[in-house]
Amino acid sequence: MTLIEILVVVVIIGILVMAVTVAVGALGGDREIEDEARRIADVVAVTLEQAELEGRDYGLRVEPSRYEVMVFDGRRQGWFPAGGDRWFATHDLPPGLALELEIEGRRVLLKPVETTEQPLPQVLVAASGEVVPYRLSLLRSASGARVTLAGAVDGTIEFSRDETP
């Protein structure tokens, strides 16, 4: 074999390896939906820690394409956006992703907050360290990808992934 023939074979093998890598990445898991699911789990964990440290009740307000952390203010007798921290700020989901929420086995109708109404959180995080059990699903309707976070009373979260064509 000549040097040119060896180089041609190496180039062909390189192109095949690159094509397989791209194909596996394109057909593999939806990284964006997994990243958002991890972010929500982290937000709930930080919220639980903050609730226990401050001795205040917190909650997660969920809308179809966004969520935010709220805190109960006893002096003003109501729920208000927690703010002040990047974890607690309102977070809009990337285009194409949506949220579904179940509490105690019942699906919660998610709708955007009207400016005239006082928004209330659906997932409560008590100062005692307890969390209302929930199932929060992130889904991409275009591909059928779904990641579900199942939160337990003690604050632990289980992930499950479902891809239906």
Measure the CA–CA gap between 32 and 147, rounded to whole angstroms.
11
Q: Report pTM.
A: 0.76
Measure the CA–CA gap between 121 and 59, rounded to whole angstroms.
5
- pLDDT for 116 equals 58
| Residue 165 pLDDT greater than 50, yes or no | no
- pLDDT for 5 equals 86
Q: In the β-sheet with 157-163, what is the strand arrangement from edge to edge?
A: 106-108, 97-103, 134-140, 145-151, 157-163
Domain 31-163 belongs in CATH node 1.10.1740.10: no
Q: Which residue has the tokens 């990284």?
A: 31
DSSP state of 131: B
Would you place residue 20 in the very low, low, confident or very high pLDDT band (cuts 50, 70, 90)?
A: confident
Instruction: Give the helix, strand, coil percentages of the chain, each rounded to 5.
Output: 30, 35, 35
43 in Cβ contact with 86 (< 8 Å):
no
pLDDT, tens digit (0-9, with 9 covering 90-100), for 86-136: 888 889 999 989 999 999 889 999 887 776 577 889 999 999 989 999 999
Give me the residue spans of the domains in the chain.
31-163
Arithmetic mean of pLDDT over the chain = 86
